[in-house]
Amino acid sequence: MQRVLLIIGGGIAAYKAPELVRQLRAQGLAVRCLLTAAAEQFVSPLSLASVSGDKVYENLFDLTEEAEMGHIQLSRDADIILVAPATADLMAKAAQGMANDLASTTLLATDKKIIMAPAMNVRMWQHEATQRNLAQLKKDGVSIIGPENGDMACGEFGPGRMSEPQDIAAETAALLAPNNTRAEAADLTGRKILVTAGPTHEPIDPVRYIANRSSGKQGYAIAAALAAAGAEVHLISGPTALDAPHDVQMTWVETARDMQAAVEAHLPVDAAVMTAAVADWRPAECKAQKIKKGQKIKDKERAPAPLDLVENPDILATLGAAKKNRPALLVGFAAETEDLETHALAKLQKKNCDWIVANNVALDSGIEGGVMGGDANAVTLISTKDAKAEIERFDIMSKHAVAALLATRMAAHFTPIEKTGNKGKAK
Ligand code: CTP
């Protein structure tokens, strides 16, 4: 499991630190907190110890702490250092290389990646000194998240509000993704890739439908990672609460049949990644009017009315069997609650895809918030080569990290277009 050292500065936004710890853990990351003396006025070490499940570090000059875990060791143990909230004071110290407390000493002693989420009064943020320090920190390789515009605790409006814990956690996880972050190392320039995501809704009547727990987060993260790697991405999404990812063309659909039609309309593509949790069945008929309780069916009062179901088309299997326009690389997902690899391998063969990403979607899968709806995933990648299954099992990681991993693998599968001019051909 990757580890974040969270340095909490002394600003009012420090009250969001426990929620930030929770969001980082939901991304599959381990968190250790370090509080500045001023931060202790805003958030209690005890609550941070409870949410992080680890000791909280506070003072450079605490001799016991130095003996047990010095500032060097603190940074050595972390994969990344996140400063949130990053106060004007902490930013100034880090920009100048000052080291007079545990937080600033750790920042100076580390060779790990540093991210800062600034939060301060709008005038402090806009002050030339802070802007100078910001420019220096960026030059030194520090990643900056935010600040956002908005109402601030001091009653003013403008830039200075700390970014939302969920966004900071997602960005941190993206920066920690294997094989370089956000698939920046992966090159899929010029490849056309189709991604399906989210659930489908199968209407029963004008107000009711059959659905499932899929949030669409994994598919959206994959679409974003592929686009970041230079691919031309078309995302066909069922109903979700998510914003469209950057640089991705979107088509919104409701039912499995709509999704299939949208997929067919966007062929040919070089690759397709089918993450959607397509409903396997739909009501045989969608009633024109709302079904009433106690409605008479065949002269009998029926409540609830029985639901006749018919099977939906299997979009992945149809693509896998297609004589025309079958993508050169077809990636399926297998949502399983038991016998993960056996079921996933059987699906790969039955639906004739090239790779399948299997995940355990049981509610007690050990992932906070569950796989369906949560921010983390633990996947197994099965790829066939010479009819022999290759199985790679990955530990819990954020959905962004899974996306970056897949983008990197897909880029490795294809020969970069600009180097060969060999458009559309897999290696
Ligand atoms: N899939 C699809 N169309 C369907 C059902 C599934 O395209 N009607 C795709 C999914 O997007 C996924 C893969 O097939 O890539 C496997 O989906 P999953 O729900 O795990 O499997 P099912 O085929 O529905 O089988 P089961 O519900 O029996 O596990």
Tokens at residue 329, please?
């690389």
Using pLDDT thresholds of 50, 70 and 90, give the confidence band for residue 401.
confident
Q: Which residues line ligand 1 (CB under 6 A)?
A: 196, 256, 274, 276-278, 280, 312, 314-316, 332-335, 347
Query: Residue 381 phi/psi, 5° resolution?
Result: -105, 120
By most ligand atoms within 8 Å of CB, the mutation choice from 213, 314, 341, 352 for ligand 1 is 314
Q: How far apart are CA 142 and CA 110, in angstroms?
A: 12
Supply the pLDDT for residue 150. Answer: 75
Using pLDDT thresholds of 50, 70 and 90, give the confidence band for residue 181.
very low
CATH topology of domain 183-420: Rossmann fold (3.40.50)
Supply the pLDDT for residue 307. Answer: 86
Q: Return the residue whose CA atom lies nearest to atom 3 of ligand 1.
A: 314
Alpha carbons within 13 angstroms on the beta-carbon side of residue 60 total 13
Domain 3-176 has CATH 1.10.10.10: no
Of 224 and 196, the structure prediction assigns the larger pLDDT to 196
CA separation (Å) from 260 to 52, 53, 278? 44, 45, 10
Mean pLDDT of 371-395: 81
pLDDT digits (tens, 9 = 90+) for 28-69: 899 999 999 999 999 999 999 999 999 999 875 565 555 556
Q: Return the residue whose CA atom lies nearest to atom 17 of ligand 1.
A: 334
Is residue 394 over pLDDT 60? yes
In degrees, rounded to 5, the angle at the alpha carbon of residue 171 between the alpha carbons of residues 169 and 177 is 105
**pLDDT, the chain, mean:** 88
Is residue 183 over pLDDT 50? no
Mean pLDDT of 386-398: 77
Catalytic-labelled residue, pool 33, 154, 286, 353:
154
Give the three-class secondary structure for 406.
helix
By most ligand atoms within 8 Å of CB, the mutation choice from 316, 326, 330, 353 for ligand 1 is 316
pTM: 0.70
Q: Is 135 exposed, middle or buried (0-12, 13-18, 19+ CB in 10 A)?
A: exposed
| Amino acid (1-letter code) at residue 425 | K
pLDDT digits (tens, 9 = 90+) for 222-251: 999 899 888 999 999 999 999 888 789 999
Least Cα distance to 194 among 114, 253, 150 occurs for 253
Is residue 412 over pLDDT 70? yes
- Is 33 annotated in the active site? no
> Above pLDDT 90, what percent of the chain?
61
Domain positions in the chain: 3-176, 183-420
Supply the pLDDT for residue 179. Answer: 46
Is residue 396 over pLDDT 60? yes
Is residue 352 over pLDDT 90? yes
Per-residue burial over 100-122, b if 16 or more Cβ lie within 10 Å, else e, is ebbbbbbbebbebbbbbbbbbbb
